[in-house]
Chain A
Amino acid sequence: MAVRPSQTDAMSETRTSNRLKPSTVRLIKQNIPLMIMFLPGLLFYIIFKYAPMGGIIIAFKDFNLRDGIFGSPWVGMDNFVQLFNQAQSLQIIRNSFMISILGLAVGFPVPIILAIMLNEVRKLWFKRVVQTLVYLPHFLSWVIVGGIVLSLFALESGTINRWLEGIIGEPYPFMYEKVSWLIIYLGSGVWKEMGFAAIIYLAALAGIDPHLYEAGSIDGANKWQQMRHITIPGISTTIILLLILSVGKVMDVGFDQIYNLQNAVVSDIANVISLYIYQIGILRGQYSLTAAMGIFENLVGLVLILLANYIARRFNQGLW
C-alpha cells in the first residue's frame, strides 16, 4: 500500500549521522549522485524563480518604466496604506476569502468523488468515454462557459426558467439573487474543472495494489468498506498534498470566471481581488498598487500553507 515514510525517520538519521564521522562521509558520498541530478532543477529555481523575485520590491516603490525596477523611488509602505484606506478594500478581501473558501469546500472533493466513481466502472469503454467527456470543459474559455450558464439560467430565455414557467408559472431570477448566483458560480467552476482535476486522482488510484481489493472481498468487506479502507487511504497522500496546495491559493479567485459571471446586482459579494487588480492595475496602469495587493494575497496564502502543513505534520502527513 502507498504509505509515506514518516518524517521522524529522516530527522533521526541525520542527527545520528552528525555524530558519527564515517557515516557523514558516507552520507555525502550517497548524496553526490543526488546532487548531480538536482543541479538543473536548482539552477532553474535560482535563475527563473528567485532572480526575477527582485521585482517584488515595486510594491514598496512608485514604479515607472523609465527608472525601472531598481531606479524607481522608494515609497515604503505607502502603497499598502493606500490599499487598505480604500473604502472597498475590506469588502474585496472578505469576498475573495469567502468565495474561494466555498470554492474549495465544493470544488475540492468533487474530482476525488468523480475519480472514485470512474474507478468503479467495470465497462472499460464507458469509463473511457465518460472520462474524456468530463475532461472537455477544461478547454472552454470562461466566455463560452458564461454563455452556457446564461442559456440555462437567464430570466427570460434560459432553459430552466422556461421549465419553471411551465411548472410553477413564474421564472426565478437565478443570476440576480445572491445565493442562487453563488451556487451557479460554484457549480460552473466545479463542472468545468472536475474532469481535468480528477486525472491526478485517477493516476493515484492506478497505483493501488489490486491484491488489496481481492483480500478485502475475501474478508467479506462490502463496496463501502473497501472504499473506506482501501481506496481512500490509497490516495490520501495525493489528497493531502493537493489540499495543502489549494489552501495556499485561498485568496486567489480566478479572474476569468468571476469576470464573466459577475454582474452589478451581485457585486456586493462578487467584487474580488482579481477583478480589482484588473480594473486598477491593468486598465489603469497602477503596477505598484497591484503588486502590493499581490503581496498581501500571497502572504496570506503562505501563512495558510504553513499552517496547513503544520497540521498535516501532526498526522505524519506533512509535505516537509
Chain B
Amino acid sequence: MKNTVNPWFARIASLLLVSVLLLAGCSQTPAPAEPEGGTETDEETSVNTPEAKKDISVTVYDRGSVPAAEGTIEDNRWSKWLNEQGPANVKFVAVPRFESQQKLNVLFASSSAPDLIFEYAPHIKNPLIDQGLLMPLDDVIEEYSTTYKQMLEQYPALKKVGTKADGKIYEFARLAEVYPIHALLIREDWLKKLDLQVPQTTEDLYEVAKAFAENDPDGNGEKDTYGIAISLQSGQVVDQIFQATRWVVKDGTVTRNWDNFTAVTDFKKRLFDEGIIDKDFLNDKNGAKAKQDFVNGKVGIYPLQINWVSFAQNELTTLKKNVPDAVVTPIPYPKSPAGQFNPAFSNPVQATAVVNASTKNPDAVMKYIDFLVKPETANTLKNGIEGEHWKVGASGCPEPVSMDKRKAEVSWNGDFQMMSSTILDTKCGKLETGFNLSDPVQKEGFDMYKKAMQIYTDPSKPYVEITHPEHMPQLPEDIEAISGPMVKPIDDMFIKGILGGKGYTAEQTTKDAKDIWDKGNGKMIEDWFKQWYEQDSGNAFLAKDIYEVMEQQQSQK
C-alpha cells in the first residue's frame, strides 16, 4: 500500500488549528463599536475650535448603495465632511437596513451599542426605551442644545412626538411635508368611453368597477379587464375607504371596530363573486400582478400605496408605452357607510434618532444633533457642495451642475439626512421639486400629484386612522401577548369571508372574527385602549395634530 497523503500534513494542520483556536480565545481585539475617534481630524480642527472635539459613535443604515469609488458607508466624503464641519469626532457604525433590529439587539446585549442611533421603526425603539437602554433627553437638551432646543420651542409637535409614556423626551424628530401616500387612481378615458361619472359613494365605486369589468372599456372585444385591484396594498386602501381599521374613535372613546369590516368584506365579496377583480388577488403577495395588470391597461380602478415621483417614472411611463391613450387621475375617496375620508398621509413629524443610555459624551451627541438639524447642513447633505455639485437654477432652487456627478457623489447619502427637516426649506424642499417637468409623462405625473394634494389634503374630511401608524401607542407586553396571536387569525377570517361564496355572509364573517376576539380575551385590549385614550392620548400625536401641521404647511404657500 502506498502513502498518497503525508500523515505529517494532517498532524501539522490540526496543531495549527488548535493553536489558532487558543489564540483566538486570548487575543484582545477591541470591540469595534466602541468609539475610537477620527484621529486625523482631531488635530486639525482642535486648532480652530476652543474646546477639543469629543468622540462619539453614530449608526448609519447600510444599503450597499455607496459607489466603490466613494468608499464605504462608514467612511466616505460625507462621513469625512460631517467630521470636519461638525462639532464631534464621529465614528460611524453601519447597521444593515433590513436587519437593523437584530443588529441593534446584539449591540445592546453586548453593551457595545453606539452613542447615537438612527432608526425609523417604533417597534424596535420602543422596547429599548421600556428596558431603560435609551437616555432621557430633557436635561441634555436643556443643558447643551441650542438649535434643536429652539426648534422644540418653535414646533411643539417635535416635543410631543419625542415624549414617551413616562413623560420624558427620548427621541429626536424631524419635520416633513404632509402629502398623501395612498391614492385611488381611475382610468379617466374609460369613464368617458363608457359614459360614467366619477364614483361618489362606495356603491358607485362598485357599479363603475363592474362596468369596467364587463363592458369592454379597452375595446378589444374581449372580456379581459378588471374593474378594480385589491391585492395587498390595494386592498388596504379599500379598507381605508371604508374605515375598516381596528381602532376608531367614536363618541369620545376608542372602540374596536367591527361594522366597517362587515361593510368592506361585503364589498370585496361582491367584487370577487362577480369576477370584477383578479381572483388570484390573495396570492399576489407583493401586488406585482396588480401592477402588471395596471400598466398593461387591464385595470380600471387602482388603489395603491404611492411614491408619486417614482410612480410617474415607472408605472405611468410603462402604461403610456403600452396604452398611449390611457388617462389616469386620482379621485377622492368615495363616501362609504362610515363616512368620507382623506387617504393616509406621510408622517409629518417623524422620530428618527435615539441616544444610548450609557453614552459617555451626551453633550457631544447633542451638539452633533444641533449641527445636523441646521438648515445649512441639511442643504449641503441634500444637494452637495455649492459650485461643485449644484448651482442656483432658473427656479431659484439648487440645480445639479452635472447629473452624473450628483449621482456618483451625492444621491446615495440619504441615510445621513435622517435629522433633516426638508420642509423648513419652504421653497425648494418640497416633493414637487422632484419631478422632471421637461418629460411629458412626468409632467402628467406632476399634475396628478398636484391634483392629489388638492383633493386629498382636505381639512374638512377626517383622517381614517387615529394617527399615523408610527405614532400609535406601544402596547405593554402583557397586552401585546394577548393581541399579537390574534392578528393573523382575524385577518384570515375576513379573507375567508371574501372567498367564502354565497353561503358565508359578511355578517357571519364578522361574527366569527368577533368570536376569536372574545375567546382570545380581546376585552382586555379594548380596556387598555380606552384607558390610554382617556388618560394619555392628550400627550400623543394624533390625527388632529397631523391636520394642524398640514394646515400650517398649506398656509405657507
Interface, chain A (partner B; CB < 8 A)? 36-37, 39-40, 43-44, 47, 64-66, 68, 82, 86-88, 146, 150, 154-158, 173, 175-176, 260, 263-265, 267, 271, 275-276, 279-280, 282-286, 289
Contacts and interface: CB of A to CB of B under 8 A. Distances in A.
A150 B283 contact: yes
B279 A155 contact: yes
B484 A284 contact: yes
Interface of B: 14, 17-18, 21, 25, 101, 105, 108-109, 123, 127-128, 130-133, 278-280, 282-285, 289, 477, 480-481, 484-485, 487-489, 491-493, 495-496, 499, 516, 519-520
Contact of A156 (B108, B127, B280, B495): B280
Given A150-B284, A263-B282, 16 more contacts: A39-B18, A65-B128, A66-B132, A66-B133, A150-B283, A154-B283, A156-B280, A157-B280, A176-B499, A263-B283, A264-B495, A265-B495, A271-B488, A276-B485, A279-B484, A286-B477
A160 to B, nearest CB: 13
Contacts of A47: 21, 25
A319 B108 CA distance: 41
Contact of A175 (B132, B278, B283, B489): B283
Contact of A264 (B101, B484, B492, B519): B492
Nearest to A263: B282
A64 B279 contact: no
A265 B282 contact: yes
Contacts of B279: 155-156, 173
A260 B285 contact: yes
Contact of A284 (B21, B123, B128, B133): B123
A36 B495 contact: no
A150 B481 CA distance: 34
A157 B289 contact: yes
Contacts of A289: 481
B488 A267 contact: yes
A65 B133 contact: yes
Contact of A87 (B108, B488, B499, B519): B519
Nearest to B108: A65
A86 B499 CA distance: 27
A267 B132 CA distance: 38
A285 B132 CA distance: 16
Contacts of B283: 150, 154, 175, 263
Contact of B280 (A37, A88, A154, A285): A154
A91 to B, nearest CB: 9
Nearest to B10: A37
Contact of B131 (A66, A150, A155, A173): A66
B456 to A, nearest CB: 30
A47 B284 CA distance: 45
A263 B289 CA distance: 16
Contacts of B485: 86-88, 276, 279-280
